[in-house]
């Protein structure tokens, strides 16, 4: 629906219509404790919206988000506060998500102090510990975010998230803005933290290559819908959905896959007016008549492997 800016533009006489976008449409996603789920798709596919709803920073207009079996939207008081603290989000642009007027010590240490996770007398050493855990030198804690590099700023964001002792971290394109060598360091840090702190991640990325070594399970989204879901090894060895195959062909170093599928043609359509039937049909090289009319259901094609493509019925 139109946001504040849209309504303001409308008041100024601009041609802005109030329309409903189904950014996330009938998605059923489970993340088990200790698991890393990679959520992949092009920009505009709804993955960030889904991540924000899961992290509780964007309300869902319908459906349920269950946290340890309890409906997140129905929780109140202490339980709601606890669920919110235990789910943290790490964003693509660490600079935009850090207050430029706050020193790093305060960025990292403010929330744990407010929520009683540390006391005034122990605060300094608590902040030092969180910074060290994220690979930062605590002697820099009096500095401001602009005095750090992009990779270090992302580490500040990670230290801030860790400081409230979360169970579950939603990483939204958390390495997309970083150089490749720094990306690898941050991905390794995420894996070390998973091992040391028993963390669970929903790792959102447009790049299958980034989630390959990180994820236990991969979920592929296209225009608000889940089109494929499987254990990571299965996705990379036997991708079923033509969209997943196209995404794989764009992972640069996988030469063999490039031969079988020549990238994705065209742009992702507007979610305001998605194509009928299978949303992917205007870009799919295998599309046939049924694809233009009927929405394919997400069906099991192998144990633990689901795909939403009419080709599977044809093959059967």
- Interstrand relation of 200-205 and 168-172 (parallel, antiparallel or unpaired): parallel
Torsion of CA 309, 40, 43, 59, to 10 degrees: 100
Both structure tokens of 147: 């005095």
- In the list 74, 213, 286, 289, the residue contacting ligand SF4 (rule: CB under 6 A) is 286
Q: Does 68 bind ligand SF4 (CB under 6 A)?
A: no
- In the list 133, 153, 281, 306, the residue contacting ligand SF4 (rule: CB under 6 A) is 281
The footprint of ligand SF4 on this chain (CB under 6 A) covers a number of residues equal to 13
Q: Does 160 bind ligand SF4 (CB under 6 A)?
A: no
Q: First vs last Cα of the chain: how many Å apart?
A: 41
Run of H or E residues at 71: strand 70-71
For 126, 131, 140, 145, 196, the CA distances from 137, given in Å and listed in that order, are 13, 7, 6, 14, 19
Closest approach, Cβ 291 to ligand SF4, in A, equals 3
**Alpha-helical segments (H) within the chain:** 4-11, 47-54, 77-86, 104-114, 123-133, 150-162, 180-197, 208-211, 232-238, 242-249, 255-260, 289-293, 311-315
Q: Does 239 bind ligand SF4 (CB under 6 A)?
A: no
* CB nearer to ligand SF4: pick between 84 and 225: 225
Other C-beta atoms lying within 10 Å of the C-beta of residue 27 = 18
Closest approach, Cβ 105 to ligand SF4, in A, equals 51
* CB nearer to ligand SF4: pick between 141 and 310: 310
Q: Does 41 bind ligand SF4 (CB under 6 A)?
A: no
Spatial distance between the Cα atoms of 302 and 42, rounded to a whole number of angstroms: 25
Both structure tokens of 22: 């189904």
* CB nearer to ligand SF4: pick between 65 and 284: 284
* CB nearer to ligand SF4: pick between 230 and 291: 291
- In the list 53, 65, 177, 278, the residue contacting ligand SF4 (rule: CB under 6 A) is 278
- In the list 186, 296, 301, 306, the residue contacting ligand SF4 (rule: CB under 6 A) is 296
- Picking from 57, 62, 64, the residue whose alpha carbon sits closest to that of residue 84 is 57
- In the list 190, 201, 203, 280, the residue contacting ligand SF4 (rule: CB under 6 A) is 280
- Three-class SS of residue 131? helix
Q: Does 310 bind ligand SF4 (CB under 6 A)?
A: yes
Site string for ligand SF4, 241-270 (x = CB under 6 A): xx----------------------------
- In the list 291, 298, 301, 306, the residue contacting ligand SF4 (rule: CB under 6 A) is 291
* CB nearer to ligand SF4: pick between 170 and 239: 239
* CB nearer to ligand SF4: pick between 107 and 239: 239
The phi, psi pair for 54, rounded to 5°, reads -65, -40
Spatial distance between the Cα atoms of 241 and 303, rounded to a whole number of angstroms: 16
Q: Does 287 bind ligand SF4 (CB under 6 A)?
A: yes
* CB nearer to ligand SF4: pick between 55 and 308: 308
Binding stretches for ligand SF4 (CB under 6 A)? 241-242, 278, 280-281, 284, 286-287, 291, 296, 309-311
């Amino acid at each position: 629906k139109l946001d504040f800016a849209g309504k303001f533009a409308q008041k100024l006489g601009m041609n802005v219509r109030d329309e409903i976008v189904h950014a996330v449409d009938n998605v059923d996603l489970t993340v088990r404790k200790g698991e890393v789920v990679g959520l992949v798709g092009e920009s505009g596919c709804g993955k960030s919206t889904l991540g924000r709803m899961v992290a509780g920073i964007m309300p869902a207009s319908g459906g349920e988000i269950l946290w340890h079996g309890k409906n997140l939207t129905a929780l109140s008081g202490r339980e709601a506060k606890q669920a919110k603290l235990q789910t943290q989000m790490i964003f693509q642009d660490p600079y935009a998500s850090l207050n430029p007027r706050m020193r790093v010590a305060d960025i990292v240490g403010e929330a744990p102090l407010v929520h009683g996770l540390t006391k005034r007398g122990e605060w300094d050493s608590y902040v030092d510990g969180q910074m060290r855990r994220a690979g930062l030198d605590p002697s820099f804690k009096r500095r401001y975010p602009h005095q750090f590099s992009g990779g270090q700023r992302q580490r500040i964001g990670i230290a801030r998230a860790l400081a409230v002792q979360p169970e579950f971290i939603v990483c939204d394109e958390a390495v997309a803005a970083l150089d490749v060598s720094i990306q690898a360091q941050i991905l390794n840090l995420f894996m070390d933290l998973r091992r040391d702190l028993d963390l669970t991640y929903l790792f959102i990325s447009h790049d299958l290559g980034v989630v390959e070594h990180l994820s236990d399970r991969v979920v592929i989204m296209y225009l608000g819908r889940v089109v494929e879901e499987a254990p990571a090894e299965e996705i990379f060895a036997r991708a079923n959905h033509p969209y997943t195959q196209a995404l794989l062909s764009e992972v640069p170093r996988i030469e063999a896959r490039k031969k079988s599928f020549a990238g994705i043609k065209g742009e992702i359509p507007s979610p305001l007016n998605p194509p009928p039937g299978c949303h992917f049909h205007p870009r799919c090289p295998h599309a046939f008549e049924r694809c233009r009319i009927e929405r394919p259901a997400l069906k099991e094609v192998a144990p633990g492997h689901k795909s939403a493509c009419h080709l599977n019925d044809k093959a059967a």
